[in-house]
Structure 1
């Protein structure tokens, strides 16, 4: 996996960023109004080779890949560049590929900046008059009419212009009433035109990603300076949390564009649907981001003196050239579940890579083989999304095969597997519907013991966990503190050569079968809140421990655990006395990086199965375009969640600055899991109401399971605060 573009791509991005910062400042953008076109900017972009980037090298262009051009488009969106840049790039390539004297000559003129061409996005046979992006300044428009591709040269009488929402150079062109030249016909020409439209969607999506991010950062900067009621408005969660949501949405969209391009290069099925979903997502995100940014500015955002309104109108104006952006969801549904499959552009060799790698696939294959050999029908019937699905025999066998904790070093029974392999293995557990609760929590606690535990603790407790003979649970939350784990009042006091534990913990899931609990206790009540804490491993079979079950509507048991004069040796202490913050931070870092994307993908597969097997109104549900649209929306959320999780993994592996990327993955996936499981519960009703077998029952279970995902491991609100502070530099939103 590699999410860092290469040196050449970095140079491209930096070159255009520097140029556009100077030549597309908001002063220049305003000066270009109302036409929305800046001739000097256009000439400069041509000189830098912008319009030749996608012309094949054999045709005199630069022959660059599509991701290279998205880097330019992100900067163009960020700087509100004035002119039909994406349209001209796409038109120049299409002309070069179609060939012919006139087409080739015009392609070279576009590259040089001496002529401007654009593309009509809809079939002129059914829409002979269309609104065309850049049509107000274009010398030529490429249009498709049935199986023919035409070059239209608009006359002043054949185009109409006027004020528009975004002050863009658009015009309504009479594609059947101007000078027209046939430049291609037949299936090959139509395929090239279709591919050009799909390329336009991806470039437009990239521009919207850049626009969205810039609007959010402008709002964050303002919120870090503007005061209300005596403090910076960025300290108010009503301001910071929506911005945190949107920066994750914008970045997710950016990486989805990259991932879609990679999928096209590899010929993966569904790539055409993801083109539609990427533009749908970023059209929606950019508009929300700009509007939320304006709201952050308050009344000042409405005034023409402030620049943020420019982002609001541009965010709306760019994608609406295609029409209602919601139609992209219908389009994605037809591509995922119907027979609509347009030609896709040749994208070049991507400079980024989302692949988990051969080692990850090999280890995942080994786990898959293990489950196929060992999971009997009787065992699978007991599987459950909780500790209730734990089977001690399978747990031990996995440990014996060194597959239970593959990321652990060999001396502790692991394979030293990297996060990519761990992610691939997690997908296999999900495919086999086998509960990972006991394994995942024991994995986390075991890592903490390896890092902070004494030799005696490692020999006694860690060795049992590594052998699959013991499982662990977490003792963080308390009845009076919830997510504020550092407000713990469970007491640990020196007692001979060890410690006495007194207090209680809430939500100690798995304690009914666990052997150990990772417990945070207060060792100094006079020290500041975060400094008087120490972490311990407590055997749950120790005298004075009481476990009281608490049942949830997820059909899952959690527990209250009571500790009354529980004695443990000092060797079961983790880290220094009073050093609980450091140990806790390490454990939360592991927990915060968790994502629910694999479970969401399983949910979607079951929903698709239900819709294929269920008839409504005399036809299979999957054939209903409205149903396909709803399933496509879930697919979009899964795709975004996946790339956000990839960023968190890649950042960890490459040891790059981690700006709360783990919390971003967990927060996004859990919030979408709740929303999508609820929507699919509705879609599958009334069958989904019954706790029976089959796909509808799984949807029912996911709906109940999803409710907790925004809570445990830190609530979404806590994670939003972390994202706001670390990614956007907003002031601290927590006391």
Structure 2
């Protein structure tokens, strides 16, 4: 897996970024708007840096660089609101080089002396259309039936428009048209150019959206209201955190599309459509929220954020309603629609987990196929109640129960990426009981902080697959604020500890032998400093486990501790050092997502729509495609979190972003797909409809456990956008 750029790409991006910071500053953007919205000096500077030669074939005098290289330029162009039809020119100049016959014009376009742009619609069907850069273009490449033509001599008058860009409505039939190419091959090149434009627009819009959010965050970190920085208000910071996930997700969808093209994936065309549609929506919402953060000042021409608001909407509208791209994605996913795609060039991005990962997954699949009985599989469930002792033990015997743990605990020396794949395969097999995940967490905690007694008596039973452990974090009065725990541990004269109090949501306590418990050992210091962690045997006198059943078809528990006495050797870490002790465990909880169950939910919805006979309807295809977009963004955010953790890269709340985004989209899509398949979705009858029904109930808890979405939004706001702390 790799999210890194090559050294050459880093240098290229930095070069363009520095140039655009100076030559496409907001003051330069404003100056360009005083005329027609085009900055000729900027255009010439971009040409000198080789921008317009990047995608031109070498045999036509270009650099023949890849899609990803050019996408890096377009992200910077979005960030700096480039004054000119850059995305359109990049694809038009490439077409000139591919189709040939216009050497003089091609040379002028590469050097920045002439602007060449592209028409989005077939001129044989719509001769009069809006052209990006039309008011400054020397030539326009367009489709005319079965021909690709070069149109010149059309008067493109500037008129007032949404973002004061050099867009013009032009009658292309009124100009002189030279045929550049005809037939299937020429039309394929033109179609591929439009797909390339969608990718460039997607990353540019992501750049616009992210910059607007960063401007809003900076303002919220300085502006005060009611005596406080407004960035401390969750009503300000949390929407910005949500939108950061969206604009990053839009870029990553475009990155996925580029990699899909490189891999010749069947998903490539649909991913392009979804990246473009998603970016249009994410950028529009981001700039609106960014402007709103500035309050009334955001409406003022004095503040730059309004420039982002206008460009984010104006740039893509030259191609028409962005919602049509969602319909297009639906047809590509579900109706077999195909399209010619641009060549990708070299792509440094890699989302593959490797050969070792595939080997481990194959081994797990074989075990489940040969060692797990149908009766055992019938007990599988996403909750703790899906725990099957025989399967748990079998996995431990094959050193596959805890693939995420180091070799001395898991029994295997495999790469971190293979560990990720193994846990994913377990989920694909339906055996994703939280029991194994929590047992792994407790084993890690004992290994790191436990006494010799715990390591000798408890740790072997956990890693051997003989027992489960539960978590005693939450309490009836504190929920996700685990550091507000009041369950009291008092040290006795002989050094042992007496524990008194109540823990809520102690899931799996009815199946577990031990609970990892956070207790209050010092009430006279700040709440996060007076905590201590213990391992408590659940069969100890004074422990009571009481069932709490949820509408999600799962059981959790409330547990009571009345004079429970344990030796000091069952303490984890230092006295009053519980915050440090549990930090690693909390980070593990914050790093996951719900992509696997989201994928299963979508597949179930697809099956039910076929059963209902609505699978060919546009509304069905659109809504399924939207859920697929959310799934793929969830995947990409999770990949980034995993990669940055494994490779020790700077991590700006990437784990919380992945968990929060996927849980929220799991919840919203579960509602929508239940609506889509109604009234059959009311049923719990066995099969796909039962899974859809269950997913709706399951999703409700996913935004709460493992850290609530509100907690994660605060973490994203603080670590991802630099906003002031919003939590006490």
For normalisation by structure 2, the TM-score amounts to 0.98
What do the CA deviations read for 1:459-505 (whole angstroms, capped 9, x no partner)?
11111010000111110000011111111111111132421111110
How many Å separate the matches in 1 of 2:703 and 2:157?
51
Pairwise mapping of residues 224-303 of structure 1 onto structure 2 (< 5 A)?
224-303=221-300
Greater alpha carbon shift after TM alignment, 696-705 vs 495-504: 495-504
How many Å separate the matches in 1 of 2:315 and 2:186?
26
2:45 corresponding residue in structure 1: 44
What secondary structure, in the 3-state scheme, does the structure 2 residue paired with 1:595 have?
Answer: coil
Contact 1:419 1:649 in 2 (8 A): no
1:160 positional shift: 4.2
How many Å separate the matches in 1 of 2:142 and 2:478?
63
Is structure 2 residue 453 aligned with structure 1 residue 456? yes
What do the CA deviations read for 1:89-137 (whole angstroms, capped 9, x no partner)?
11111111112x22x4322221111111111112222211111111111
1:667 corresponding residue in structure 2: 660
2:82 corresponding residue in structure 1: 81
Is structure 2 residue 638 aligned with structure 1 residue 640? no
Name structure 2 gaps, 5 residues minimum: none
How many Å separate the matches in 1 of 2:153 and 2:226?
57
Is structure 2 residue 139 aligned with structure 1 residue 146? no
Instruction: After the TM superposition, list the runs of 4 or more consecutive aligned residues in structure 1 that deviate by more than 4 angstroms.
Output: none
What secondary structure, in the 3-state scheme, does the structure 1 residue paired with 2:294 have?
Answer: helix
How many Å separate the matches in 2 of 1:516 and 1:269?
48
1:618 corresponding residue in structure 2: none
Is structure 2 residue 694 aligned with structure 1 residue 701? yes
Greater alpha carbon shift after TM alignment, 700-709 vs 277-286: 277-286
What RMSD, in angstroms, separates the aligned Cα atoms of the two structures? 1.2
Contact 1:215 1:290 in 2 (8 A): yes
What secondary structure, in the 3-state scheme, does the structure 2 residue paired with 1:17 have?
Answer: helix
What do the CA deviations read for 1:199-234 (whole angstroms, capped 9, x no partner)?
000001111111111000000000000111111110
1:418 positional shift: 4.1
Contact 1:510 1:558 in 2 (8 A): yes
What secondary structure, in the 3-state scheme, does the structure 2 residue paired with 1:557 have?
Answer: strand
What secondary structure, in the 3-state scheme, does the structure 1 residue paired with 2:650 have?
Answer: coil
How many Å separate the matches in 2 of 1:155 and 1:688?
56
* Partner of residue 554 from structure 2, selected from 556, 559, 567: 556
1:628 positional shift: 0.3
2:11 corresponding residue in structure 1: 11
1:440 positional shift: 1.1
1:612 positional shift: 2.1
1:59 corresponding residue in structure 2: 60
1:154 positional shift: 3.5
How many Å separate the matches in 1 of 2:442 and 2:106?
62
1:428 corresponding residue in structure 2: 425
How many Å separate the matches in 2 of 1:409 and 1:81?
49
2:726 corresponding residue in structure 1: 733
1:196 corresponding residue in structure 2: 193
How many Å separate the matches in 1 of 2:118 and 2:410?
60
Pairwise mapping of residues 653-692 of structure 1 onto structure 2 (< 5 A)?
653-692=646-685
Contact 2:404 2:410 in 1 (8 A): no
2:22 corresponding residue in structure 1: 22
Contact 1:492 1:523 in 2 (8 A): yes
2:377 corresponding residue in structure 1: 380
Greater alpha carbon shift after TM alignment, 195-204 vs 401-410: 401-410
How many residues are treated as equivalent by the alignment? Answer: 726
1:419 positional shift: 4.0
What do the CA deviations read for 1:14-51 (whole angstroms, capped 9, x no partner)?
00000000001111000001411000000000000000
What secondary structure, in the 3-state scheme, does the structure 2 residue paired with 1:707 have?
Answer: helix
Contact 1:478 1:488 in 2 (8 A): yes
* Partner of residue 438 from structure 2, selected from 433, 438, 441: 441
Contact 2:393 2:464 in 1 (8 A): yes
How many Å separate the matches in 2 of 1:455 and 1:71?
53
2:496 corresponding residue in structure 1: 498
Q: 1:237 to 1:377 in 2, by over 3 A?
A: same
Q: 1:591 to 1:359 in 2, by over 3 A?
A: same
1:570 corresponding residue in structure 2: 568
What secondary structure, in the 3-state scheme, does the structure 1 residue paired with 2:62 have?
Answer: coil
1:321 corresponding residue in structure 2: 318
How many Å separate the matches in 2 of 1:714 and 1:505?
16
Greater alpha carbon shift after TM alignment, 193-202 vs 564-573: 564-573
Is structure 2 residue 180 aligned with structure 1 residue 183? yes
What do the CA deviations read for 1:621-674 (whole angstroms, capped 9, x no partner)?
211111000000000001111110011001100112221111110000000000
What secondary structure, in the 3-state scheme, does the structure 2 residue paired with 1:241 have?
Answer: helix
How many Å separate the matches in 2 of 1:611 and 1:18?
51
1:116 corresponding residue in structure 2: 115
Greater alpha carbon shift after TM alignment, 351-360 vs 11-20: 351-360
What secondary structure, in the 3-state scheme, does the structure 1 residue paired with 2:134 have?
Answer: coil
What secondary structure, in the 3-state scheme, does the structure 1 residue paired with 2:202 have?
Answer: helix
How many Å separate the matches in 1 of 2:339 and 2:276?
16
* Partner of residue 405 from structure 2, selected from 404, 408, 420: 408
How many Å separate the matches in 2 of 1:286 and 1:655?
30
What secondary structure, in the 3-state scheme, does the structure 2 residue paired with 1:500 have?
Answer: strand
2:106 corresponding residue in structure 1: 107
For normalisation by structure 1, the TM-score amounts to 0.97
How many Å separate the matches in 2 of 1:170 and 1:113?
18
1:302 positional shift: 0.6
What secondary structure, in the 3-state scheme, does the structure 2 residue paired with 1:426 have?
Answer: helix
Contact 2:517 2:533 in 1 (8 A): yes
1:32 corresponding residue in structure 2: 32
What secondary structure, in the 3-state scheme, does the structure 2 residue paired with 1:341 have?
Answer: coil
What secondary structure, in the 3-state scheme, does the structure 2 residue paired with 1:329 have?
Answer: helix
How many Å separate the matches in 2 of 1:423 and 1:409?
13
1:703 positional shift: 0.3
What do the CA deviations read for 1:302-335 (whole angstroms, capped 9, x no partner)?
1111111111110000111111111111000000
How many Å separate the matches in 1 of 2:413 and 2:21?
45
Contact 2:154 2:175 in 1 (8 A): yes
How many Å separate the matches in 2 of 1:135 and 1:211?
22
1:538 corresponding residue in structure 2: 536
2:480 corresponding residue in structure 1: 483
How many Å separate the matches in 1 of 2:170 and 2:373?
66
Contact 1:399 1:466 in 2 (8 A): yes
Contact 2:36 2:158 in 1 (8 A): no
* Partner of residue 208 from structure 1, selected from 182, 187, 205: 205
How many Å separate the matches in 2 of 1:635 and 1:146?
33
How many Å separate the matches in 2 of 1:242 and 1:111?
42
Pairwise mapping of residues 153-192 of structure 1 onto structure 2 (< 5 A)?
153-156=152-155, 159-192=156-189
What secondary structure, in the 3-state scheme, does the structure 2 residue paired with 1:623 have?
Answer: coil
Greater alpha carbon shift after TM alignment, 606-615 vs 208-217: 606-615
Name structure 1 gaps, 5 residues minimum: 616-620
What secondary structure, in the 3-state scheme, does the structure 2 residue paired with 1:2 have?
Answer: coil
What do the CA deviations read for 1:325-381 (whole angstroms, capped 9, x no partner)?
111110000000012111110010102211111121111111111111122221222
What do the CA deviations read for 1:588-639 (whole angstroms, capped 9, x no partner)?
1000111001110111111111122322xxxxx2111110000000000011
Q: 1:486 to 1:498 in 2, by over 3 A?
A: same
How many Å separate the matches in 2 of 1:79 and 1:722?
27
How many Å separate the matches in 2 of 1:452 and 1:163?
68
Contact 1:546 1:561 in 2 (8 A): yes
How many Å separate the matches in 1 of 2:713 and 2:590?
12
How many Å separate the matches in 2 of 1:368 and 1:450?
29
Contact 1:154 1:173 in 2 (8 A): no
